[in-house]
Amino acid sequence: MALAIAKDYRTGRVVGFAATAALGGFLFGYDSAVINGATSAIKSLFGLSDLAIGFVVSIALIGSAIGAWFAGTLADRFGRRRVMLVAASLFLIAAIGQAFPVGIVDLMFWRFIGGAGIGMASVMAPMYIAEIAPADIRGRMGALQQLAIVVGIFATGLVNYVVLLSAGGDARNVWLLGLEAWQWMFLSMVIPAVVYGLLVLRIPESPRYLVAIGEPVRAAEVLRTIYTGDVNPMVADIETSLAGDHKPRFSDIRGRTLGLMPIVWIAIGLSAFQQFVGINAVFYYSNTIWESVGFSESQAFQTSLITTGVNVAFTIVAIALVDRIGRKPLLLIGSTGMVVTLATLTWIFGTAAVNAQGQPILTDGPDIVALIAFNAYVAFFAATWGPVVWVLLGEMFPNRIRATGLAVAASAQWMANFLVSTSFPELAGISLGLAYGIFTVFAILSIPFVMKFIRETKGVPLEDMGEFTGARTA
């Protein structure tokens, strides 16, 4: 089937809809990284071990995996917009709960709730964007999700740093209204959560969801807000791709390969490799990493802020390239760059002299090389694997299994994130060189995975994706 595409579209309208959906990514980045500034304070306040603080940080990721798992089913039952509103509500509740914990148990509960919101947003943004964006700009629009994530991470670092300085340089210091600085770090999430919810109320429902629930007239109305040409052929093609009396369910993605369709396993592999190269260890523990090699708390904050700035800048590079160079070439470039930079960090941390606590001591020379390699690693990830994986997850599945397949892949991504984030403090406690060596191995393995299993989807209409990827559902 060759999809009949209305060629003329309103770019500004598409960008507006996509940017609103991507705000879920902003909260995703903000909520997941805000703990970085509060980690030392929470560890001190509750007297936690390295393993315990690792679990406090990572429990949000269990919530994310569960939120992502159910997001697809909820999206097919209640619509994309309603699930986005639920995610915004969970962000808001978690922000307040984490700022005022009674003890460590309820702090973990609120982090779990916030994680569920992150998981839902991580599925909804790429799904909605892929379903409303024209094929020739779908990659750039999909990459807005990752841009929003990294801007959220940068905003978190900036807000945390301002709060820390305003409170006298210690997150345990009492600041405004009798609250400690780390509490204000969590409370700062309230504003973006409210803004996200209000903006979601102003965007239309996905036309593909509307067709799926038997409302093609409403779907055509939404498409007319995007396209200037005749949208009736588009509605007809969507109806064809969703033909049959069928309600989406998890059994749709079953296959002969270990119980799942090959395209689902490929998506799970993409998600796992994105996490196993260690990127979130950077953003959850970057302050701790730099403090462990001799930086002051203030210097560690400044260094982490530079890193998040690099992350934002190179995500913009990805947006410029993803629809020109394509998805697969960018992944291969990113993998190669990460192998080199991670191997450099492995060598520096693994060969550095250590102090009495077994932590590496970086002297003049190696510390500069480490900073350059660290930020180059982030740059390669940000320009490639960070946004491209989300673009692919949003577009690689046929219409009938998109919600379910994306939910499973995103859930797998969060579980991989959990494994990395929980184990990193212990691995780093043994040796930072060991931790980065493991990340290097996964970066190496990602190259043959991409070469063998990833097909270029640049410019392929969503309604043709099943034929293109071999993931036919009928």
Residues in the chain: 474
pLDDT, average across residues 72-87: 92
**Residue 6: per-residue pLDDT:** 44
Q: What is the DSSP letter of 174?
A: B
In the chain, the percentage of residues whose pLDDT exceeds 70 is 86
Integer Cα distance of 146 and 286 in angstroms: 19
Q: Helical H runs in 167-189?
A: 181-187
pLDDT, average across residues 292-297: 60
Phi-psi region of 326 (alpha: psi -120 to 50; beta: other; left: phi over 0): left
Q: Is 247 exposed, middle or buried (0-12, 13-18, 19+ CB in 10 A)?
A: exposed
Reported as half-sphere exposure (CB side, CA atoms, 13 A), residue 101 has a value of: 21
SS3 content of the chain, % helix, strand, coil (to 5): 75, 0, 20
Give 109-130 pLDDT, tens digit per residue: 999 999 999 889 888 988 899 8
Instruction: Count the Cβ atoms, other than its own, within 10 Å of residue 22.
Output: 29
Give 386-398 pLDDT, tens digit per residue: 999 989 998 888 8
> Distances from the Cα of 442 to the Cαs of 71, 220, 409, in angstroms?
28, 45, 18
Q: Model-level pTM? A: 0.76
28 closest CA partner among 410, 433, 447: 410
Q: Range with the lowest mean pLDDT among 19-33, 70-84, 165-179, 208-222? A: 19-33
Q: Which residues contact 403 (CB under 8 A, 6 or more apart)?
A: 71, 72, 73, 75, 76, 123, 127, 248
* 224-226-227-233 Cα dihedral, nearest 10 degrees: -60
**Assigned fold of 11-466:** Growth Hormone; Chain: A; (1.20.1250)
Domain boundaries, the chain: 11-466
Q: What is the DSSP letter of 322?
A: T
Instruction: Count the Cβ atoms, other than its own, within 10 Å of residue 73.
Output: 16
Confidence tier at 365 by pLDDT (50, 70, 90): low
Could you give the angle at the alpha carbon of 379 between the alpha carbons of 443 and 136, nearest 5°? 90
Confidence tier at 68 by pLDDT (50, 70, 90): confident
Q: Range with the lowest mean pLDDT among 89-93, 130-134, 228-232, 280-284? A: 280-284
Integer Cα distance of 379 and 363 in angstroms: 24
Integer Cα distance of 176 and 425 in angstroms: 32
Residue 5 clears pLDDT 50, i.e. is over it: no
- Partner residues linked to 174 by β-bridges: 180
Pairing of strands 360-361, 353-354: antiparallel
3-state secondary structure 383-440: HCHHHHHHHHHHHCCCHHHHHHHHHHHHHHHHHHHHHHHHHHHHHHHHCHHHHHHHHH
Residue 340 clears pLDDT 70, i.e. is over it: yes
The listed range with the strongest mean pLDDT (46-50, 90-94, 163-167, 234-238) is 90-94
Average pLDDT, the chain: 84
Give 187-205 pLDDT, tens digit per residue: 999 999 999 999 999 999 9
**Residue 1: per-residue pLDDT:** 37
Integer Cα distance of 266 and 142 in angstroms: 19
Q: Range with the lowest mean pLDDT among 290-294, 324-328, 403-407, 431-435? A: 290-294
pLDDT, average across residues 36-61: 82
**Residue 473: per-residue pLDDT:** 42
Give 37-46 pLDDT, tens digit per residue: 788 889 888 8
**Residue 107: per-residue pLDDT:** 92
**Residue 407: per-residue pLDDT:** 86
Q: Phi and psi dihedrals of 5, rounded to 5?
A: -105, 130
- Locate 121 and state its tokens: 């947003």
pLDDT, average across residues 433-457: 93
Residue 353 clears pLDDT 70, i.e. is over it: no
